[in-house]
Structure formats: structure tokens, C-alpha cells
Amino acid sequence: MSFSLTLEFTLQQGEFSVEIDERIEADAIALYGPSGAGKTTVLEAVAGLRQPERGRIAVGDRTLFGSDNGVDVPARHRCIGYVPQEVALFPHMNVRQNVTYGAHGAPMEDLARVLAVLDLEPLVERRVEQLSGGEQKRTAIARALMAGSRMLLLDEPLSALDVALQRRVMQYLVRVHDEFNIPMLYVSHRADEVLMLTDWVVQLDNGCVMASGPSKDILPRV
């Protein structure tokens, strides 16, 4: 499912600033670049967790932030599922409680489908501290999906995992993308992930866009 994303904003974060001016029509978009490039800052601005100084952020024709007309949709009304790099599952809840936190009376079939796609059924009663790194990532993805998200923001979902787990979680991400047909904005510093999961890449460095275009054209083959 192709979607359009407008990222035209300036965001100051202490000494560091991010300037981006992109209108993209794609299926899954990657923010690619080294650590400290500003990828997570852009993601958090889209999620509504950081407020740009000026500019516009829109998904399709829905403006989430617009300094010209004073629009700033609160994070809780953006309907954007955010999976942060550190996962941040609620430690006092089990898997089921985490996954259904933002579900707002979603039908049981939705929950069953999400749990099935991410192979979480056997884990639903487990507490967060009993989960492996990969299981925690899958739970966080399920939680974001169950929140009725119209878009998924994934911040380095394969970080802090060993190679075998990275491969498994990657398979789950491909499954989620195929099954739920949900637009994705994917942050990574690894070209192979970006090429496998996204069709458009915005390459960032030091808060500036270095390149933007189809993933296969921008990134060297891995």
C-alpha cells in the first residue's frame, strides 16, 4: 500500500538541528544514516514526541504538525504505532496487557491475528522480564499494531540482537508488512535491512538530507 509522507520541518535539539524537506510517495520508507544523524529525532517528530520549530508533517492529506496553521496533533491522537529502539515495554504488565494497552476495544479477532503473525500466543501470560530480546521486540511491534495504527514507526528494531535473532525478527517484520499492509517508516544504519524492507530511503547525516530516492538506487548492493 503506497502512502505519501510529508516531512518538511526544522527541529532544534540543543546544539543539534534537523532540517528535512521531503515529500515521499512510497510503500515503506527508511531513514538511513550513521548514529547521531537525526533519524530518531525525525521519527519522534512524526510520532508527536518532539515538536519542530516550524514546518509541516503530514501522512497522506492529514496534517499532524503545521506551524503555519497552528496544527499540532497530540501523540495520543496521531494513530501512529511507535516501536522505539529500547522497546520500552511496560515492565509491570505481561505480554497480553502490553499488546492490548492501546487496543481500545479492538475485536478479539484482531488480537488473535496479531498474536498469530508474530508468534506470540504461547507468551501472552509471560512477564516482560521473562522475554528474550527478540520476543520483546515482537511484543512491542504487536502493541503498536494493536493501537489501531495507520502507520508504523520502527526505530532500529534489530539493534541489540544477535545475528540469529536479527534474522528471525526481520522475517517477522516482512510478515507484518505483508499481512497488515501498513505503511512503515523504518530507521536503520544498516543498508541490508533497508534494502530488504523499504522501497524508498532518505539518507541523513548530521541532521541534513544527503540523498533521497528509491532504496535500490541510493544504497549500494549488499
CB of 157 closer than 8 Å to CB of 83: yes
**Biggest CA pair distance of the chain:** 49
C-alpha cell at 98: 502490553
- Restricting to residues 91-150, which ones interact with another protein according to CB under 8 A? 91-92, 101-102, 104, 143-144, 147-148
Closer to another protein by Cβ: residue 77 or 221: 77
User: Please, what is the minimum distance in Å from the beta carbon of residue 153 to another protein?
Assistant: 8
Judged by CB under 8 A, the stretch of 22-30, 60-68, 77-85, 176-184 that binds another protein is 77-85
Judged by CB under 8 A, the stretch of 2-10, 44-52, 114-122, 178-186 that binds another protein is 44-52
C-alpha cell at 177: 508488512
User: Please, what is the minimum distance in Å from the beta carbon of residue 49 to another protein?
Assistant: 5
Query: What is the rounded CA–CA span in Å between residue 92 and residue 98?
Result: 9
Region class of 197: left (phi > 0), else alpha (psi between -120 and 50), else beta: alpha
Count of CB atoms situated within 10 Å of the CB of 55: 19
Among 86, 132, 174, 222, binds another protein (CB under 8 A): 86
Binding site for another protein (CB under 8 A): 47-49, 74-82, 84, 86, 88, 90-92, 101-102, 104, 143-144, 147-148
